[in-house]
Amino acid sequence: MSIQTLPCFLHARLALADSLLPDTNRSRGLSVWTLLLAVLWVHALLVIPPALAMPPGTLWSWGTNYYPVFPGSFTAAPVEGLGEVTAFAGGGNHSLALATDGTVWAWGGNYYGQLGTGTLVNSSIPVRVSGLTHTTAVAAGFYHSLAVKSDGMVWAWGDGGYGQLGTGTNTSSATPVAVVGLTSVTAVSAGIYHSLALKADGTVWAWGAMFPIWDGQAWGFLFSSSIPVQVAGLADIRAIAAGGDHSLALKIDGTAWAWGGNYAGQLGNGTTSNSAIPVQVVGVTGIRAIAAGAGHTLAVKSDGSVWGWGDNFYGQLGNVYAGRINSSPVQVSGLTGGIAVAAGFYHSLALKVDGAVWAWGNGGYGQLDNGTNYPPTSISTTPVLVSSISEVVAVAAGAYYSLALTSTPITGNQPPVADAGADQALLQIGTTVQLDGSKSYDLDGDPLTFAWSLLQKPPGSEATLSSTVAPNPTFVADLYGDYVTTLVVTDSLGASSTPASTTVSFTNVKPVANAGLNQAVTVGERVVMDGSGSFDANLDPLTYSWSFMSQPAGTTATLVNATTINPTFIADVAGAYVVGLIVNDRFINSDPSNVTITATSTQDQAIQTLKDAIAAINGLSASVLKNLNLKNALTNKITAVLQDIDQGLYQRALDKLQNDILAKTDGCAKMAAPDKNDWLIACVPQRQVYALIVQAIDLLTYLI
């Protein structure tokens, strides 16, 4: 859940990078950004310390890092209030960024002090971590944070209840504290309750707790220590990754080694047996990058192919032919040219050499940049392009969100960019027109001066600009016709922009129809359409014309008040209803705008959700249950609920879920650890089943 920052760039390798790019790129010459990505392509061939920070850039995020307090963004957007960063990390519900001056900034949830501000106050914007300077690397766990300073020491803050702060105690801290006994550290990584460090000599050190186990009498952990201990059997390590309850190390020879919980095959050794010592991942060699999620693992090979293994419940392995559990690596479908990967709880990211980011797995919180939100189904079992961002040089993933760094090329003074504002359409002679040059900008941040000119006006017009040097001058449109103005901006070093122009006219502009957002509804629900986003640049009054473009078979749905801004209809059968809108400004029709309304049966949704829960339980290993007989017992209880639903006995089904089944799966959700009533005794699989049971309860409540 944290980025392993990548090496610095070596000019001597550019020729090799060039040879790996398509011929079309070589023939045109390589840009600064292309060279940056090209070196990333070959960095795995070099023996370089893994904790050096990236060149500075802009950090973007999408998904949800502290729902519902901070709902997040379902498409990539720059992190507000944050300058250029060189490293970053995503945790359970908080994020970290390393600024160019060596300070660390954090935002998100803070109820264990994981933001490091000395308080427990959440923050939707980046706040500075107290007392940290000269920082070289960061990592974010579920509720704790790690940082490496330039002297090789490690600092930790946040939840320390399982020893994951490495202080020799189980005490939490809202400000950074030194991890005891560690020096010469180059990289760190953080899991749910455990932490990892990579030293300059290639050894790996671990502390905290990893993978809860029940010995028949008491709870314990596969690994537990409140101070760093060396991981046995590992040497010549170049990168590390901490997952939910497992860990991964990449050797210089390109082999990967894993240890910890293995209920979903996330160790990749062909079994589902847990291992307290590292075991080699089978079937993949020549690895150059790794990542670990809650129960799945990712790797990039030197040929640019991406591989995954472990939990695939949400398609996070990116292979439609993969099973629910995969104890050996499978190739992610359709991805080539990979240079880096990142893994969230149940989603995956890959960065390609062309700077594009691809995502797959669970997208229910926007973490795939697919513009959708929970509860509509947002799962992709194959990679989809994150289309709202490009020229990316690094990626990371939090539990339910994603992060990416775009490069900021370092160049000499660059000319500013003029923006004369949008074209305007007028209704009446004598209108005072205000021009807007405020969106002009300088890439170097230099102050700007403005030079406007009225390039064209109707014959006989006496219009003049109120000022030629103000950002927002005005003029009076005294005759019908077109008025064309131009703007040139100049920075403090004398560099001028290319002229920008804007046209003000009385010509009628075609109106724009907006049929609103796609909707997901339940069969029988009254659907309200929304044409309020339609507009006319001339401010002419609009008329509305709605119609069905397509409907599911068997429907008798009709639009009521189809010539108003908000017509309605009843979605009487399941399926997709495509509704079109055309608006008219008394002179011309708009282009059509379509919206899709998808109707599903609430009962069918509840049934499918419970079937998913049964499938999840059947896929569990014996080690995550109190005893093996409870697997059948739990699925039999859910099957009985399905029979009640099928007979229309919704209240009885709801009572069984709320008063019996839920109590056997809710310990981790309530207390962050299984309780005595839980039949599932490992948090990761328990949370999967719990989420499905809660969703089914919500659906049944709606039916009743």
The region of weakest confidence among 371-380, 550-559, 574-583 is: 371-380
Q: What span, in angstroms and rounded, lies between the C-alpha atoms of 183 and 588?
A: 73
* Bridge partner list, 70: 66
Q: What span, in angstroms and rounded, lies between the C-alpha atoms of 73 and 61?
A: 7
pLDDT of residue 125: 86
Give, in degrees to the nearest 5, the angle at Cα 614 between 612 and 620: 105
pLDDT of residue 71: 56
pLDDT of residue 535: 92
Q: Comparing C-alpha atoms, which of 495, 542, 529, 661 is closest to residue 597?
A: 529
Q: Both tokens of residue 487?
A: 């703007």
Q: What span, in angstroms and rounded, lies between the C-alpha atoms of 297 and 295?
A: 7
Mean pLDDT (whole number) for 179-186 = 96
pLDDT of residue 540: 79
Beta-sheet strands, E only, within 150-245: 154-158, 173-178, 185-190, 194-199, 204-214, 219-230, 237-242
Report residue 28's pLDDT band, with 50, 70 and 90 as the boundaries: very low
pLDDT at 59 over 60: yes
Q: What span, in angstroms and rounded, lies between the C-alpha atoms of 462 and 624?
A: 83
The residue length of the chain stands at 704
Contact of 217 with 263, CB cutoff 8 Å: no
pLDDT at 296 over 90: yes
pLDDT of residue 30: 31
Mean pLDDT (whole number) for 15-27 = 32
Mean pLDDT (whole number) for 687-692 = 93
Share of the chain above pLDDT 70, in %: 89
Contact of 502 with 422, CB cutoff 8 Å: yes
Q: What span, in angstroms and rounded, lies between the C-alpha atoms of 597 and 555?
A: 13
Mean pLDDT (whole number) for 213-218 = 76
**Number of Cβ within a 10 Å radius of residue 145:** 34
pLDDT of residue 42: 29
pLDDT of residue 72: 64
pLDDT of residue 417: 82
Mean pLDDT (whole number) for 18-33 = 32
Burial class (CB in 10 A: 0-12, 13-18, 19+), 534: buried
pLDDT at 648 over 80: yes
* Bridge partner list, 541: none
Amino acid occupying residue 199: K
Q: Both tokens of residue 495?
A: 């560099």
Q: Phi then psi for 304, rounded to 5 degrees? A: 85, 0
pLDDT of residue 74: 78
Q: Both tokens of residue 632?
A: 């059948």
Share of the chain above pLDDT 90, in %: 67
Q: Phi then psi for 644, rounded to 5 degrees? A: -65, -45
Give, in degrees to the nearest 5, the angle at Cα 295 between 293 and 298: 50
Q: What span, in angstroms and rounded, lies between the C-alpha atoms of 4 and 396?
A: 9
pLDDT mean across residues, the chain: 87
Mean pLDDT (whole number) for 529-545 = 90
Q: Which residue has the higher pLDDT, 315 or 29?
A: 315
pLDDT at 294 over 50: yes
* Bridge partner list, 340: 351
Condensed to tens digits (0 to 9), the pLDDT of residues 322-364 reads: 788 999 999 999 999 999 999 999 999 999 999 999 999 998 8
Helix, strand, or coil here: 366?
A: coil
Residues 6+ away with beta carbon under 8 Å from 402? 61, 62, 63, 76, 90, 342, 344, 347, 349, 357, 359, 367, 368, 369, 386, 395, 396
pLDDT of residue 408: 57
pLDDT at 20 over 80: no
Q: Both tokens of residue 588?
A: 């011309």
Condensed to tens digits (0 to 9), the pLDDT of residues 657-687 reads: 999 999 999 999 988 899 999 999 999 999 9
Amino acid occupying residue 602: T
Q: Comparing C-alpha atoms, which of 445, 270, 368 is closest to residue 64?
A: 368
Q: Which residue has the higher pLDDT, 50 or 114?
A: 114
Mean pLDDT (whole number) for 590-612 = 91
Q: Which residue has the higher pLDDT, 536 or 341?
A: 341
- Cα separation values, 498 from 451, 487, 501, Å: 12, 9, 10
Helix, strand, or coil here: 31?
A: coil
Q: Which residue has the higher pLDDT, 419 or 160?
A: 160
Tokens 């941040």 belong to which residue?
445
pLDDT at 244 over 70: yes
Mean pLDDT (whole number) for 274-289 = 96
* Bridge partner list, 526: 570
The region of weakest confidence among 47-51, 85-89, 121-125, 442-446 is: 47-51
